[in-house]
Amino acid sequence: MGTIAWNGYRHLELYYAVSGSGSVLHTLNPRLHLDQVVWIADHAEDQVLFFDKTFLPLVEAVAERLATVRHFVLMVDRDQMPVEHKLPGLLCYEDLISGQDDEFMWPEFDENTASSLCYTSGTTGNPKGVLYSHRSTVLHTYASALPDALNLSARDAVLPVVPMFHVNAWGLPYSACMVGAKLVFPGPGLDGKSLYELFEAEGVTLSAGVPTVWQGLLTHVQGHQLRFSTMKRTVIGGSACPPAMMASFEDNYGVQVIHAWGMTELSPIGTVCMLKGHQLGLPVGERRAVQAKQGRAVFGIDMKIVDDHGEELPWDGRTAGELLVRGPWVVDQYLKGEHSPLVVTDGRGWFPTGDVATIDNDGFMNITDRSKDVIKSGGEWIGAIDLENIAMAHPAVAMAACIGARHPKWDERPLLVVVRTPGAEVTRDELIAFFEGRIAKWWTPDDVVFVDAIPLGATGKMLKTRLREQFQDHLLAQA
Ligand code: AMP
């Protein structure tokens, strides 16, 4: 059963009703290109499509091309049903529910039965389906609620900004219900003003989302000199949380940032950055350096870093290698995939994350780059994310992406692509000078190009593939 819906209570009902009755809940991402929506729905063999009214035009545009969908259900009350539309036999969600008994005998089935399905964001190639089971979801739910993970309880009011169509909103619809927390849904209102007002009106204590969303919220709160009266923690993941954002939340608003790492292939939570006891008294600079890491593996996830030959690398906080993971909620096979993505080292199957990371001797993993997105200069790694974080700390920089541009001598060199903060001025030379003393000199970007906007993918991540297409020869042209 497919859904194309915002974070809302009907979507939550479907999370439980569809999976609990033995069907598979497939949450489709409406931000994808229409061709991809069709490709994914066909690949998943969706038979029923539930959708919010916002997405009526989208569904109308693809309906005729959907090979397997037999029923379209609009998630509204009867009086909200459109008079005119292009969907034959369109059903009303509340009509379907009101015709049913309030009592339902939940069926019992094997814990390995499939419960839900998500597709990877697919910045390259066709998206891949990751099928979760009741077992993997329940185990992930327990682990994600632990004190050193998201630390959820019945005293929380949780507002997931991360969409329920992106890796099940990081599992919050399950974990919040498991602990008895209040759930607050933003619907389509994801701008800073709407979110802030909802936080205040509903007494939200914990929220979760990607850095881009928090940038909008912080801009609104700063611009109007507001305070959060109940918000205590926010989970930031999906891409690296810029340290400047973390500092702003904590120093200016008393909101604890919980930095987390995960992937669609991990349901998604893999690591969460919660300090250990001996780190609590660290000077603020040192503490922040730890908090900027992606954190420690939650119980259930094993991780290691390996070199190009699959040899395990030390946990010294310096040596970077490809991050491999294994555990009961780690994918071993994509939906209808012919080949398992797992690599076998030490006789076991490990999932190669495509992320490059260090792990320190306290077990804190730190993503330094993605293996397909890495900058290799003269045979040595340069962490694009570190360079972006520094650039983002400059007040005149609204957004920064660092890509590896081809270079006649070093093979690749870092090139910084920058969107200026509206109304602010900064030159190339000033930005280059900003890196001085903050990193090894040879890491300094060779050049800066200013753009109006950085292309974002459907889940809010920067599409560096596009930037590379556009700027990969920039340094060659200069040379
Ligand atoms: P997705 O499957 O769309 O959730 O994307 C997973 C990928 O996002 C990971 O493999 C990482 O490359 C990236 N990612 C997720 N969380 C973080 C984080 N906290 N810091 C850096 N990258 C992250």
Taking the centre of ligand 1 as the mean of its atom positions, its distance from the CA of residue 260, in whole angstroms, is: 9
> Which residues pair with residue 126 across a beta bridge?
none
Tell me the C-alpha distance between 363 and 301, whole Å: 12
Could you tell me if 202 and 195 are in contact, meaning their C-beta atoms sit under 8 angstroms apart? no
Give nearest CA residue, ligand 1 atom 6.
263
Q: Is there a contact between 172 and 258 (Cβ–Cβ < 8 Å)?
A: no
Residue 353 lies in a domain: yes
Same domain, 257 and 281: yes
Ligand 1 site residues, Cβ closer than 6 angstroms: 120-121, 167, 237-240, 259-264, 268, 294, 353-355, 367, 370, 459
Residue finishing a domain among 343, 370, 397 = 370
**Ligand 1 pocket: which of 274, 351, 367 to mutate (most atoms <8 Å of CB)?**
367
CATH number for the domain including 366?
A: 3.40.50.12780
pLDDT in tens, 230-289: 999 999 998 778 899 999 999 999 999 999 999 999 999 999 999 999 999 999 999 999
Domain stops at, among 310, 343, 370: 370
* CA distances from residue 305 to 310, 338, 348, 353, 369 in whole angstroms, order as listed: 9, 26, 14, 10, 13
What is the C-alpha separation between 336 and 262, in angstroms, rounded?
Answer: 23
CA 231 – CA 241 distance, rounded (Å):
18
The tokens of 104 are what?
A: 């339902």
Task: Give yes or no: residues 385 and 298 share one domain.
Answer: no
Report which ligand 1 atom has the smallest distance to the Cα of 240. Answer: 20
In this structure, are 209 and 349 located in the same domain? yes
Residue 399's CATH number: 3.30.300.30
Residue 442 is among the residues annotated as catalytic for this protein? no
Give tens-digit pLDDT for 181-240.
999 999 999 999 999 999 999 999 999 998 878 988 999 999 999 999 999 999 999 877
Please indicate, yes or no, whether residues 357 and 418 belong to a single structural domain of this protein: no
Ligand 1 centroid vs 268 CA: distance in angstroms?
A: 9
Active-site annotation holds for 376: yes
Q: Residue 309: give the domain boundaries.
A: 142-370
pLDDT at 125: 53
Catalytic-labelled residue, pool 6, 170, 205, 265: 265
| Distance in angstroms (rounded) separating the CA atoms of residues 477 and 146 | 52
Is 208 within the bounds of a domain?
yes
Q: Do the domain assignments include residue 123?
A: no
The tokens of 71 are what?
A: 């029923």
Catalytic residue among 3, 27, 120, 137: 120
pLDDT in tens, 3-56: 999 999 999 999 999 999 999 999 998 887 788 899 999 999 999 999 999 999
Atom 15 (ligand 1): residue with closest C-alpha?
238
| pLDDT tens profile 123-182 | 445 789 999 999 999 999 999 999 999 999 999 999 999 999 989 999 999 999 999 999
Helix (H, G, I), strand (E, B) or coil at 374: coil
Same domain, 284 and 307: yes
pLDDT, mean over the chain? 93
Same domain, 89 and 163: no
Residue 139: count of CB within 10 angstroms of its CB: 18
How crowded is residue 211: how many other Cβ atoms within 10 Å of its Cβ?
Answer: 20
Nearest CA among 434, 367, 350 for reference residue 400: 434
> Which of 468, 461, 476 has its CA nearest to residue 407?
476
Give the number of domains in the chain: 3
Closest atom of ligand 1 relative to the 236 alpha carbon: 19
To the query of whether residue 264 is one of the catalytic residues in this protein, the response is no
Find the 210 Cα to ligand 1 centroid distance in Å. 10
Tokens representing 95 are 């009509």
The answer on 255 and 291 residing in a single domain is yes
The model's pTM is 0.84
407 domain residue, yes or no: yes
Q: How many whole angstroms separate alpha carbon 242 and alpha carbon 234?
A: 14
Task: Verify that 39 and 184 share a domain, yes or no.
Answer: no
Q: Give burial (CB, 10 Å; 0-12/13-18/19+) of 169.
A: buried
Which of 370, 403, 430 is the endpoint of a domain?
A: 370
Quote the ligand 1 centre to 271 CA distance (angstroms): 11
Known catalytic residue: 372? no
